[in-house]
């Protein structure tokens, strides 16, 4: 098998594994939408530009 064919097969495998991980990460983030009650739990006034 020529080197170019081995590199292409390995490259396609790597892309597939990265795509799977990215899909899982985006799906997890989508399922964990920001909950407005999180601000209530902080017990403070949070405004734009307000440093923690």
Which residue ranges make up each domain of the chain?
3-42
Q: Per-residue pLDDT tens for 18-28?
A: 888 887 777 65
Q: What is the reported pTM?
A: 0.37
Q: 46 CB contacts (<8 Å, ≥6 apart)?
A: 39
Q: Per-residue pLDDT tens for 3-49?
A: 777 777 777 778 888 888 887 777 655 555 555 555 555 555 556 65
What distance in Å separates the CA atoms of residue 51 and residue 11, rounded to the nearest whole number? Answer: 44
Q: Which residue has the tokens 């390995």?
A: 10
């Amino acid at each position: 098998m020529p080197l170019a064919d081995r590199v292409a097969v390995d490259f396609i495998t790597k892309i597939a594994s990265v795509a799977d991980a990215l899909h899982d990460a985006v799906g997890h983030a989508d399922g964990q939408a920001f909950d407005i009650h999180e601000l209530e739990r902080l017990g403070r006034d949070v405004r734009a530009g307000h440093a923690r």
